[in-house]
Amino acid sequence: MRALVVSDIHGNLQALEAVLAAAGEVDAVWNLGDTVGYGGNPNEVIALIRPLATVNVRGNHDRVCCGLTSSQGFNPVAAEAAKWTNRALTPENLEWLREMPKGPVLASERAMCAHGSPLHEDHYIVSMRDAWTPLQRMETEITFFGHTHVQGSFSQREHEWEEDRPQYSETHSGQQASIEVPVGTRHLVNPGSVGQPRDGDWRAGFAIYDDVLERITFWRVPYDVEGAQEAIRNAALPERLAGWLAVGR
């Protein structure tokens, strides 16, 4: 089975389209949440991902945008974007977001999907220090998570602990980097953000999990940033949201 793992799409239709085109044919699509918020095309993004995703978990922005939780704790830009998204979403899409399960959700025999940490949906896993306890306590060998918008992995192989940021190399279909995930090893894996990368690389991030090859491949693909910026400006969302997309911050 080949699963396409996406996270933090954040209403960026142009980035999602580029990711789906690059991923090609897959057996499953796992969506780790923050499907909306920030970007100018929340309804179009849901229309595209909803029929494809075999697993969805909710993100903190999804909760605020559909009115499940308040925007207290959000910075002013995020709060304004959530307010706009709430008004823009169709009643049907609001309902879909409200019913989205909280992570972690079992996705396959060996893998779970979460938005933040497998131990708490809103926790950020930034460093090995944050990854240490969830790596030992999670109920499957692999947990895919998002929330930080930074692509990479934290792994435990016997007594070795390793933090990995992808070192991409050029392939015929774009820049990729892989990690091996043989049975008996444990991994927290962030596929990166589709719609608002924050690791200084503006290109859309995602991952492909192949459970037969026991391999996870990180991808970066260019997309129509100008189109995404135009959607943000047409929606009269804060200009800074358009600026961040160009620099991956």
Helix (H, G, I), strand (E, B) or coil at 54: coil
Q: Which stretch binds Zn ion (CB under 5 A): 4-12, 117-125, 156-164, 182-190?
A: 4-12
Q: Which stretch binds Zn ion (CB under 5 A): 7-15, 74-82, 184-192, 217-225?
A: 7-15
Q: Which is nearer to Zn ion, 149 or 187 (CB)?
A: 149
8 near Zn ion, judged by CB under 5 A: yes
Q: Which is nearer to Zn ion, 93 or 193 (CB)?
A: 193
Q: Which is nearer to Zn ion, 127 or 171 (CB)?
A: 127
CA 43 to CA 152: how far, in whole Å? Answer: 29
To Zn ion, the closest distance from the beta carbon of 11 in angstroms equals 11
The one-letter amino acid code at 137 reads R
Q: Which residue is nearest to Zn ion (CB)?
A: 34
Pair 72, 120: CB distance under 8 Å:
no
Q: Which is nearer to Zn ion, 121 or 211 (CB)?
A: 121
Site of tokens 């160009």: 246
> Which is nearest to 31 in space by CA: 61, 65, 57?
57
To Zn ion, the closest distance from the beta carbon of 142 in angstroms equals 21
To Zn ion, the closest distance from the beta carbon of 149 in angstroms equals 6
3-state secondary structure 163-199: EECCCCEEECCEEEEEEECCCCCEEEEECCCCCCCCC
Q: Which is nearer to Zn ion, 8 or 121 (CB)?
A: 8
H or E segment and range at residue 162: strand 160-164
To Zn ion, the closest distance from the beta carbon of 193 in angstroms equals 7
Instruction: List the helix and strand counts (H, then E) for the chain.
Output: 8, 13
Q: Which stretch binds Zn ion (CB under 5 A): 2-10, 69-77, 100-108, 114-122?
A: 2-10
To Zn ion, the closest distance from the beta carbon of 115 in angstroms equals 8
To Zn ion, the closest distance from the beta carbon of 10 in angstroms equals 6
Cα torsion 109, 111, 112, 116 to 10°: value is 170
211 near Zn ion, judged by CB under 5 A: no
Pair 208, 225: CB distance under 8 Å:
no
Using CB under 5 A, which residues numbered 25 to 44 contact Zn ion? 34
Determine the size of the site formed for Zn ion (CB under 5 A). 2
Pair 144, 191: CB distance under 8 Å:
yes
Q: Which is nearer to Zn ion, 137 or 240 (CB)?
A: 240
Q: Which residues, other chains included, contact 70 with Cβ-Cβ below 8 Å and sequence gap of 6+?
A: 64
To Zn ion, the closest distance from the beta carbon of 8 in angstroms equals 4
Q: Which is nearer to Zn ion, 12 or 156 (CB)?
A: 12
Q: Which residues bind Zn ion (CB under 5 A)?
A: 8, 34
